[in-house]
Structure 1
Amino acid sequence: MLQIPRKPNKHLDRDIGRLLTVFNAGDFVQLEVASLAFLEKYPEQPFGLKALSSAYLALGKCHLAEPILRRAVALAPRDAELHNNLGISLSRLGQHELAVQSFQHAIRLAKADADTYINLAEALRLGGHFQAAEQAAHQAVSFAPGSAVAHRTLGTCLGVQRKLEAAVAALARSLTLDTTDVGALTQLAHVLHSLGRYADAVVCYEDALPLVPDDHDLADTLRGMLIFNHLMVCDWRTLMDDIAVLKARVEARSIGSLPPFPALSMPGFTAELQFQATRRFVDKRLEGLLSSTLNEEPAADLPQTRPDRLRIGYYSADFHEHATSLLLVGVLEAHDKSRFELFAYSYGLDDGSAMRHRVRAAFDHFHDVQTLSDLAIADVMRRDKLDILIDLKGWTADERLAVLAYRPAPIQVTWLGFPGTIGDARLADYVIGDAVVTPMEHAACYAESLALMPHCYQPNDQRRDVAPAMTRAEAGLPEQAVVFCSFNQSYKIAPDVFAAWCRILVGVPNSVLWLLNFEETAKHNLLSILAQHGLDESRLIFAPKLPPAQHLARLALADIALDTMPYNSHTTGSDALRAGVPLITVLGETFASRVAASLLRAVELEELVTHSIDDYVLLAQALASDRPRLAALRAHLLDGRNGFPLFDTPRFTRDLESLYECMHERYRAGLPPALITLDGGRS
């Protein structure tokens, strides 16, 4: 109910009564009209401003509500409801730090209630204050233990901190209170996905989707994540039809909010479609923040002289035992510390691993910013006076790309973690690629300017540990069989790819296919499809997860690595080549579908890049029957390993440093970001 203290006034009371009648009717279009008419008579009346702002908030016109609410708060500074509504408006506009202040002010002014604490928790979470958000959510639950929304908010706050089992419990409690709470179903699905319970996540997404209007932004999020989890469990029965729906919506520019990462593995999604979907996702996710921070900091004067050492910041949640660190750590160690000063900003867990210690030691400065808000992280970066900030995550799990919207560095770059555009040039000026993964003719599919490495965009570490050699018996492999392998995650296995693998196995009778040990639903589905191709389940062998050093040792037991499309082998591809196992791929159109071709170019084996599934099958079958050629390919990889650009860490680092210097030279010259290429390591 709208309540404002006021002096007695017969005419005003009558008009307020009429306005209250409109408000209580719930017709917010009419409330907007009535409020505007009211304010023509009483332009500085807080009651009318509150009514109009309520209409704007209900109609999704937050950009109009926010200035109205500021006027109202100035006139009635002790009205808690006004401060709460201002917080809602600010939060929806992406101004989460200001929203937090408004909600906290509302709590100080009035007896706290669950709704205000729920609003506060959401604003804190969206601003990256995760621990404080959880505390506010607990307060909401304590005020309203029977509120489904309070338990859902708590579950969401727990999930973002990866307190996953506790999040499941809170979200399950929410759903016992309201079985149709689509927010709780969606969040539970996300948490189950993070736990690797993909089949359970599918059920939640399927339950949530019918509860959302078909044209609602959330519907596309649910469709995208449902497809992604179907890929995770290798359930392809409706896959192509489901993808066709999303493609049509992107092509019609009616897409809502499709998460960028799942789109990378969807067959038929071109680089242009991925760009369009990601750009729309950013608009929905960060547009308010981007708009509000665009001119927040005064423009710094361009440096008159080049600094003695360029200050390079690396930003990631993966500075531990993770594929990103496995690839990057050698480059960090090989940086010329007389010319580059390295800063790390780590917002992931410290797993205490040897890799964590090694990565940490490679930096001049290591900031653990996991508990800081997004704005606080940006402030740390600003205080460090970075020249270039490198985001290593993109739109992958646990990302915190909102930090980039604050523009904490004059040059911002996306690299390595996400094979594609992050969708908005305000987040990153450059994307680092190479002539294969990001050819110049694909530049229009990127919001960023292309910065091309001369050989391959992917770094590798010459110091990778390899365990002692294993035998096939130890790995559970038949001694005399041709062993095809693909150690990619299950979401990368598209239906036409697995069909091609089955054709290869049929054409090479004495062969097996060696895959990761997926969750049980995925294995069951793959074995069922294998049987449909007339193949015995013994032809499929699942490998348990091993530490990286042992995994590299067992990889050498394979004869041929088979790539996945449209999301290629990345770290798994370079691991196979390092182990001396030739990799066969199909060159695709998108960044993610061209990575293996880039890796093969960087080890001088472009002969293993095909241009169709049929050619891919024929090449695999031909190699399997040509033992001398297989031996020659293995010798080529092993004998030349340290000399290939893919595994020459010092050369890669020099090229990367040259790329950084070119970026900075353009900046110092007052030039905007533009295509950068290197020739022999220099521009």
Structure 2
Amino acid sequence: MKKAKAPGKTRGQVSYGQPSAALLATTPTQRRALSELFQRGNALYDEGRYAELEVLGQEWVQRFPQQAAKGWDVIGRARLYLGRLSEAEAALLKGLELDPDNLDIWDCLGVVRNRLGHFSGAHEANMKALAMAPDLPHVLINAAGNLNDSGRYDEALELAERALKHEPLNRLALLVKGNAFVGQDRTDEGIAMYRQVTAIAPDWPDAWTNLGGACNKRGRVDEAIAALQRALELDPNQAISWNNLGLILRDQKRDQEALDCFNNAIDKQPELADPYVNLGTVLQIAGRTLAALEYMEHARKLRPTSPMIYMGIGTCLQDMCRFEEAVVAHCTALELKPDFGAAFSNLLFTLNYHPTLSAEEIFGAYGDYELANALVTPGEWASHANSREPGRRLKIGYVSPDFQSHPVRYFLEPLLAHHGHKDFEIFAYADVAVPDAMTERYRSYMDHWRNVRGLSDHEVADLVRQDGIDILVDLAGHTANNRLKAFSLKPAPIQVSWLGYVSTTGMRSIDYLLSDDALTPPGSEHLLSEIPWRLPSALVYRPPADFPEPTPLPALARGHVTFGSLSRAIRLNDDLLDVWAELMRRVPDSHLVLNSRDFRTPEMQDWMRSRLVSRGVEASRLDIDYTSPAWLPMSNIDIMLDCFPHNSGTTLFESLYFGLPVVSLKHRPTVGRVGASALTAVGHAEWIAEDVDGYLQIACDLAGDLPRLAQIRATLREEMHRSAAMDEPGLAHAVESGYRRMWQAYCEGGQA
């Protein structure tokens, strides 16, 4: 990792300070010597010669022990700008031992602790300084900036406005006020404030940097990029600007450009933690999870109290099946920021994959999500003005960040393509970062298209109410960029979750979960916050138009059976690998193909290979790689193995459509029953196991009957076409009938 170097002075306003009373109360000779030291220090500070400034402070302490407090102050400020924050804090505390009423030292200590991420300690120091100088603008500004970083935006705004009463055009006070507005989700007011600052100080890069971040939050990507580029024109060494530009490019899926930006940020300011986290995220997406974790861990050393960093560490650990450590990381993020919705969703996501927890234990955590993240107390929702007419045309709203080329399209399009627009008026609330051709296709299915990219959750809920939506459908659950907080406001009288997450949301504001008997068998209702609305099949598959015909059975030409899985690494837990290793012992000479995006790099291939080899599987029997589309690796597989306790998703249906039998084990509802749902719908419940012994027996029986495998490969696609798994009109009819019955029950004053 890079060696730390000096950050800019604008984040936290710290001056060199003033001669203290102790300095003045000396002999004339000492006063002259101290004055000379002070002036030399001031010059070094202004010139950014911080290493020399530290030496001067040490000289001060040694030569003038009675005035050593100021010397420690100088040392602390020098170390602050050298990026040695812990040492800076130690020096300042020594100064306060000697002079506990020193305003400058308390003020500087607040800035140092803020940079360390110790916001409560910074607040304590800021309040000490404010007690001594309640009207000093830079003291007010530093305190306000730390409150912003602590998420205490109302208090930050009050202090910023107090500073502006004394200095109405203070650019830093205006900037901090804009930051408070953005933190309060008053982003448009924040943008207006930043534009005011750029008018006052057009050559100040910080203002352009913050303007870019706010514009990006509102989905105004072109304006955001222009503002950040302007900041970098003014100061190419502005690490925050490089970092923020990288975030935009990452969201635009321009990964290499994003990596370049994050690396530039690290080069310019190696002690800044955020670029390491963001670079790690891009590496993780690229399948370099091991390297990503290294960057995340380095960020934690730089800023050990950042909840974002712990969430990043947790996502890496979960992808490596280190579930206990991942849970600890996500919980640490939530201890630091209890209302951190993304971290809570990631925790729940991790728990769904945990191999040993019970369904009841996991659902207990879901119940806590709403308590921490609901924007209004459950049950205290505003009333709805929707007319309670049972037979009228209903307004249905679908909310998703995935109205684009995303796997959810294979299951959502079958409904949207068959929706009856005479009885239903269809709205989309699309939070799509990078629209594509599939986005336009989705748009063609809708009566109304609402782009909610950049809107706050309150604004999304207000828009839903303005549209008069009767039934609002969540298509994301706890996946990335979800809008569950908007659903917590209950903007529609009936709210439903379906498809994108295939599990409970834990939200009492969501009334129903679209499911089926296999996903949520009778008796599993206590594991859901929603009422399960059981369809004939909750997952109906539409394959891509270019999906080829199945290839001949590979085992006939190769003389051995090949098992396979196209699932992500997070599903391949140790217990599952133990079962697969036993299967390969029972089927001599069998091979195993593992093919997914997580295995794009040699480092991840080696990691997975070593886990199986340690279980006695010869490396020569393993083929670990990533090729796409899915039918390419499927052409080399005879039998597909489902994962547990979290079953596979889209690849289950792709495998069946390619003629591959899928062996699945029923586990925890709902995510542990996706395989059972698919196989029941297709008509092959005999491939569903109740336990591990049954799973092994089904796989061994299939492997021992090559003629049967060849017949399955030749006929399964046609069977699938005739089954509930591909009955698109049937799905639409069942869902629309469900919507109508939900609405009728609501009109009668209850739930169906």
TM-score range, shorter chain: 0.7 to 0.9
Deviation at 1:587, TM superposition (A): 2.3
Q: State the AA in 2 paired with 1:391.
A: D
Structure 1 unmatched ranges of 5 or more: 4-16, 232-238, 677-683
Q: Which structure 2 residues correspond to residues 68-87 of structure 1 after superposition, within 5 A? A: 80-87=171-178
Q: State the AA in 1 paired with 2:123.
A: F
**TM-score normalized by the length of structure 1:** 0.78
Question: Over aligned residues, Cα RMSD in angstroms?
Answer: 4.5
1:524 paired to 2:590: no
Alignment partners' CA distance in 2, 1:185 and 1:316: 29
Deviation at 1:507, TM superposition (A): 0.7
1:217 paired to 2:307: yes
Structure 2 unmatched ranges of 5 or more: 1-11, 15-100, 111-121
1:455 paired to 2:536: yes
Alignment partners' CA distance in 1, 2:712 and 2:187: 56
1:242 paired to 2:333: no
Q: State the AA in 2 paired with 1:225.
A: T
Would you say the 8 A contact 1:29–1:55 is kept in 2?
A: no
- Relative to 1, partners in 2 of residues 1:317 and 1:198: Cα closer, same or farther, differing over 3 Å? same
- Relative to 1, partners in 2 of residues 1:668 and 1:496: Cα closer, same or farther, differing over 3 Å? same
Out of 610, 627, 645, the position equivalent to 1:545 is 627
Q: Name 2:661's counterpart in structure 1.
A: 582
Alignment partners' CA distance in 2, 1:249 and 1:612: 35
1:29 paired to 2:108: no
Alignment partners' CA distance in 1, 2:572 and 2:270: 34
Superimposed CA distance per residue, residues 281-304 of structure 1 (whole angstroms, 9 cap, x where no aligned partner)? 7888x67xx369x99x97542314
Alignment partners' CA distance in 1, 2:356 and 2:444: 43
1:326 paired to 2:414: no
Out of 543, 548, 551, the position equivalent to 1:467 is 548
Q: State the AA in 1 paired with 2:533.
A: L
Deviation at 1:241, TM superposition (A): 5.7
1:431 paired to 2:521: no
Would you say the 8 A contact 2:507–2:530 is kept in 1?
A: no
Deviation at 1:95, TM superposition (A): 4.1
Q: State the AA in 2 paired with 1:390.
A: V
Alignment partners' CA distance in 2, 1:382 and 1:588: 39
Superimposed CA distance per residue, residues 377-426 of structure 1 (whole angstroms, 9 cap, x where no aligned partner)? 76765665433333323343465666657766554433211233445456
Out of 335, 338, 348, the position equivalent to 2:422 is 338
Q: Secondary structure at the match of 1:588?
A: coil
Q: Secondary structure at the match of 1:342?
A: strand
Q: Which structure 2 residues correspond to residues 45-124 of structure 1 after superposition, within 5 A? A: 53=144, 56-57=147-148, 61-66=152-157, 80-110=171-201, 113-124=204-215
Deviation at 1:572, TM superposition (A): 1.3
- Relative to 1, partners in 2 of residues 1:437 and 1:161: Cα closer, same or farther, differing over 3 Å? same
Deviation at 1:343, TM superposition (A): 3.1
Deviation at 1:340, TM superposition (A): 1.9
- Relative to 1, partners in 2 of residues 1:606 and 1:344: Cα closer, same or farther, differing over 3 Å? same
- Larger gyration radius, structure 1 or structure 2: 2
Deviation at 1:73, TM superposition (A): 6.3
Would you say the 8 A contact 1:205–1:225 is kept in 2?
A: no
Q: State the AA in 1 paired with 2:539.
A: Q
Deviation at 1:313, TM superposition (A): 2.8
Deviation at 1:225, TM superposition (A): 1.9
Would you say the 8 A contact 1:394–1:414 is kept in 2?
A: yes
Out of 342, 355, 359, the position equivalent to 1:267 is 355
Alignment partners' CA distance in 1, 2:636 and 2:102: 81
Deviation at 1:244, TM superposition (A): 6.6
Alignment partners' CA distance in 1, 2:188 and 2:490: 16
Would you say the 8 A contact 2:252–2:434 is kept in 1?
A: no
Out of 312, 315, 324, the position equivalent to 2:399 is 315
**TM-score normalized by the length of structure 2:** 0.71
Superimposed CA distance per residue, residues 618-659 of structure 1 (whole angstroms, 9 cap, x where no aligned partner)? 332233235677678779955643443323222222111122
Q: State the AA in 2 paired with 1:332.
A: L
Deviation at 1:130, TM superposition (A): 3.4
Deviation at 1:262, TM superposition (A): 4.6
Alignment partners' CA distance in 1, 2:104 and 2:593: 69
Would you say the 8 A contact 2:314–2:330 is kept in 1?
A: no
Would you say the 8 A contact 1:129–1:372 is kept in 2?
A: no
- Relative to 1, partners in 2 of residues 1:320 and 1:35: Cα closer, same or farther, differing over 3 Å? closer
Deviates more, 1:104-113 or 1:167-176: 104-113
Superimposed CA distance per residue, residues 133-176 of structure 1 (whole angstroms, 9 cap, x where no aligned partner)? 33332233233322322222222232222222221111101111
Q: State the AA in 1 paired with 2:353.
A: S
Alignment partners' CA distance in 2, 1:243 and 1:31: 35
Deviates more, 1:319-328 or 1:160-169: 319-328
Superimposed CA distance per residue, residues 455-501 of structure 1 (whole angstroms, 9 cap, x where no aligned partner)? 3322223896642342356xx98444323222222332222222322
Q: Secondary structure at the match of 1:334?
A: coil
Q: Name 1:501's counterpart in structure 2.
A: 580
Q: Name 2:261's counterpart in structure 1.
A: 170
Alignment partners' CA distance in 1, 2:228 and 2:371: 27
Deviation at 1:185, TM superposition (A): 0.3
- Relative to 1, partners in 2 of residues 1:612 and 1:124: Cα closer, same or farther, differing over 3 Å? farther
Q: Which structure 2 residues correspond to residues 137-216 of structure 1 after superposition, within 5 A? A: 137-213=228-304, 216=306
Superimposed CA distance per residue, residues 34-80 of structure 1 (whole angstroms, 9 cap, x where no aligned partner)? 757987xx9xx999976874674466533433456567768976554
Q: Name 1:562's counterpart in structure 2.
A: 641
Identity %: 26
Q: Secondary structure at the match of 2:280?
A: helix
Deviates more, 1:650-659 or 1:167-176: 650-659
Q: State the AA in 2 paired with 1:206.
A: E
- Relative to 1, partners in 2 of residues 1:529 and 1:29: Cα closer, same or farther, differing over 3 Å? closer
Deviation at 1:595, TM superposition (A): 1.4
Alignment partners' CA distance in 2, 1:72 and 1:494: 55
Q: Secondary structure at the match of 2:645?
A: coil
Q: Name 1:618's counterpart in structure 2.
A: 697
Out of 320, 324, 339, the position equivalent to 1:230 is 320
- Relative to 1, partners in 2 of residues 1:253 and 1:614: Cα closer, same or farther, differing over 3 Å? farther
